[in-house]
């Protein structure tokens, strides 16, 4: 979100300084790991769909400007019981916004995509516009194309009014924009709603039939519990990526265990062994990232005061919106107003 804001603010002709706590391309936040799902049939809430329309436009524009492939459309499946939150929420969004989609029975899913083996009572919503983003490439494009000064390995220690302080010195600015991810509440304290860091293991497994995963759509799957997992076709890294959505493992972002363990693996295998059996092979590699959960798991974009803005609480479903979040923050800085489509994300809903 910060890289996108730097890019958008610099395009408006402002003098911009971007401060990053860690080195370029680090794996200490929420954006690493080769791929991030993008989808329009948004089960979380239909109000996100207008922002998604704009996000797709901006990703396409950034892709053209950068000359790099950032977004690949694969189609997407939202799989679960007919009355599950995932299926009913996705249907609400597509019906409210007139999005192209198709409802598939379990037999139809198994026939079209043999890697996926839903139970007879499960259904899937097929969305042709879904796909995945390449997060490392996206961030590189934002920073490379921004006409801005960027400082790495320089965390903000304190701030007040128009001033931020780092170990290297003090900086003055007309406006400060905070996009601190899982470290949001540590820096901003009680001046905003709380943001809770959550440890999320990611796995790349060796499939027994690799050909089944070459042209697979992205998929989200709600199981009994409810529990979610999500997966991708083979992208580029060895193995095929699959992960649980939410672990409820609250963590400290600076001391979080960044190695996956047998318990992490067992929880994932318990979800996929019957549903994606061809992917239940050896672990090729694994990583740990973090979610930054808001109290209601919806984003928070608002002001700290007249001179400071923040975007936080992306709760494991925010990366696809990075292109439009940067635009919203830049609009708020330059005009004091952003698209009304983002009004539902203001912090006053918690009061």
pLDDT surpassing 90 at residue 78 = yes
pLDDT at 153: 97
pLDDT at 161: 86
pLDDT in tens, 116-165: 999 999 999 999 999 999 999 999 999 999 999 999 999 999 999 889 99
pLDDT in tens, 89-108: 999 999 999 999 999 999 99
Mean of pLDDT values over 290-315: 97
pLDDT at 75: 98
Cα angle: 262, vertex 203, 206; to 5 degrees: 100
pLDDT in tens, 180-194: 999 999 999 999 999
pLDDT surpassing 90 at residue 351 = no
Mean of pLDDT values over 10-27: 96
Write the CB contacts of 144 (distance below 8 Å, at least 6 apart in sequence).
66
pLDDT at 30: 92
How far apart are alpha carbons 163 and 146 in whole angstroms? Answer: 23
pLDDT at 227: 87
List, in sequence order, every residue forming a beta bridge with 38; answer none if it has no partner.
131
CATH T-level fold of 82-128+196-293:
D-Amino Acid Oxidase; Chain A, domain 2 (3.30.9)
> Taking a C-beta distance cutoff of 8 angstroms, is the pair 218, 40 a contact?
no
Write the CB contacts of 289 (distance below 8 Å, at least 6 apart in sequence).
27, 29, 30, 31, 32, 33, 200, 202
How far apart are alpha carbons 273 and 275 in whole angstroms? Answer: 6
Mean pLDDT estimate for the chain? 97
Tokens representing 339? 């698209």
pLDDT in tens, 38-65: 999 999 999 999 999 999 999 999 999 9
Tokens representing 41? 């049939």
Q: How confident is residue 291, by pLDDT bands cut at 50, 70 and 90? A: very high
How far apart are alpha carbons 199 and 291 in whole angstroms? Answer: 7
Q: What is the DSSP letter of 301?
A: E
pLDDT at 224: 86
pLDDT in tens, 194-245: 999 999 999 999 999 999 999 999 999 999 877 899 999 999 999 999 999 9
How far apart are alpha carbons 227 and 201 in whole angstroms? Answer: 15
Element (H, E) at 104: strand 102-105
List, in sequence order, every residue forming a beta bridge with 227; answer none if it has no partner.
223
User: How many CB atoms neighbour CB 196 within 10 A?
Assistant: 16
> Taking a C-beta distance cutoff of 8 angstroms, is the pair 120, 108 a contact?
no
């Amino acid at each position: 979100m910060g890289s996108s804001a730097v890019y958008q603010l610099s395009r408006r002709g402002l003098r911009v300084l971007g401060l990053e706590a860690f080195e370029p391309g680090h794996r200490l936040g929420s954006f690493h790991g080769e791929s991030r799902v993008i989808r329009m049939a948004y089960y979380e809430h239909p109000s996100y769909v207008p922002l998604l329309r704009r996000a797709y436009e901006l990703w396409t524009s950034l892709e053209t400007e950068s000359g790099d492939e950032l977004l690949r459309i694969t189609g997407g499946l939202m799989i679960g019981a007919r009355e599950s939150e995932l299926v009913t929420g996705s249907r609400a969004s597509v019906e409210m916004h007139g999005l192209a989609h198709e409802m598939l029975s379990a037999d139809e899913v198994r026939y079209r995509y043999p890697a996926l083996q839903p139970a007879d009572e499960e259904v899937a919503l097929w969305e042709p516009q879904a796909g995945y983003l390449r997060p490392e490439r996206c961030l590189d494009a934002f920073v490379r194309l921004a006409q801005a000064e960027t400082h790495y390995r320089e965390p903000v220690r304190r701030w007040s009014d128009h001033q931020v302080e780092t170990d290297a010195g003090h900086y003055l600015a007309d406006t400060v924009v905070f996009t601190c991810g899982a470290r949001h509440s540590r820096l901003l304290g009680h001046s905003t709603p709380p943001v809770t860091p959550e440890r999320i293991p990611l796995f790349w497994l060796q499939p027994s039939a690799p050909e089944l995963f070459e042209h697979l759509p992205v998929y989200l799957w709600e199981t009994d519990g409810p529990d979610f997992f999500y997966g991708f076709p083979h992208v580029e890294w060895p193995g095929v990526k699959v992960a649980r959505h939410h672990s409820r493992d609250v963590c400290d972002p600076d001391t979080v265990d960044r190695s996956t363990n047998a318990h992490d693996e067992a929880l994932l295998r318990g979800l996929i062994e019957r549903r994606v059996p061809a992917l239940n092979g050896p672990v090729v590699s694994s990583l740990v990232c973090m979610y930054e959960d808001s109290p209601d798991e919806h984003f928070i974009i608002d002001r700290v005061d007249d001179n400071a803005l923040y975007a936080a609480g992306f709760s494991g479903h925010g990366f696809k919106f990075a292109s439009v979040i940067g635009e919203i923050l830049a609009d708020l800085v330059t005009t004091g107003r952003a698209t009304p489509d983002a009004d539902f994300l203001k912090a006053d809903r918690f009061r």
